[in-house]
A and B are shown apart, each in its own frame.
Chain A
Amino acid sequence: MKITREQVEHVARLARLELSEAELDTFTGQMDSILSYVEKLNALDTEGIVPTSHAVPMENAFRADEATGSIGVEAALANAPLRAESFFRVPKVIE
């Protein structure tokens, strides 16, 4: 087994996904077979190989510190599932 049901549950919590018991079972099996397949990478010796983040070399993309304008409160909130005045509204956060 590459991954256990408990690990899958833990990952679901990290990813904020509420999974049913049936989904947990299915995902455990599927992730296990995918991860077993991924095992094949270990056949390759990658000692000293530099990891690639972007295949095309790029560096130093900047913008100048100049205001380009905002979209306004109404546009910002237009898609909000719930709002209160000019705020996005979410269930109470207890600190």
Chain B
Amino acid sequence: MTGVAVRRGAVRIGITGVRRYLARNPSLAWGLALAAGLVLFMAGGSLAWDTTLAEPLSAPVARPPSWAHPFGTDTQGRDLLAVMIVGTRLTLKIGMIAGGIGVLVGAAVGFTAAYAGGRIDAAIRTLTDVLLTVPALLFLIVVASSLKGEITSTTMGLMIAALSWMAPARQIRAQALVLRGAPYVVMARLGGMRGTEIVLREMLPNLLPFLMASFVLALAQAILASVGLEALGLGAQDEPTLGMTVYWMMSYSAFVRGFWWWIAAPIVALCLVFVALYLVTAGLDEIANPRLKRRVVA
């Protein structure tokens, strides 16, 4: 009987469960669909299209869309479809580096603050509050302008990562404080568990939806910051990220010369990325924030 019975645990939701949940959470459903579309575009594009065309001088200059170049080409002789495929990937890579490091460091800092308490906690809290007051983009402008010309998409990701941990740290600290007093954590302590083990074994699994939401949010923020920097001309000069495409388009007067396809390509791609991330974030918020969930159901 016990062995046969199907057990549905908090995390073990079947396929039908997922489908039913997504029907109740359209924001998450749409967001995931869009994100899947973007991933498909990146992956399928890399396979089906010659991405070396994203290099300058590999295609005729400034052509409107045609069969040979469905998205047209820019004045540097780049095929814009290839640029979009590579650019979306690079932009997501920057976001992943920054968001991933941000959440990992944020989790470590947040748990440390919650566990250490006292002075250490106060110091961490003040530091995060101060850093959060200053818009990250402003700090990044200072750093990036000092490194101008030497920036790659990887260093860009690392740079943004350095300012991506505060928001996750603050949220995770608050969560950890709540969980620290949870009776099941107390039971674990009575069972002989200690600090790190409790965090990893008892707290972390319950924070997974929350960490996920935190990560997507950090990812979105990081992409926002990187594209902003790039549009200012402070990105990787020889990598065709989406933001750099916007910059090149602006600096080579695509507007005056009426190259609408060059204007449209990065804007549409970026809008899709931002909307997808927004929808997923909003959807995950419902999972990570039970209070919201109740409201959605009611």
- Same assembly: no
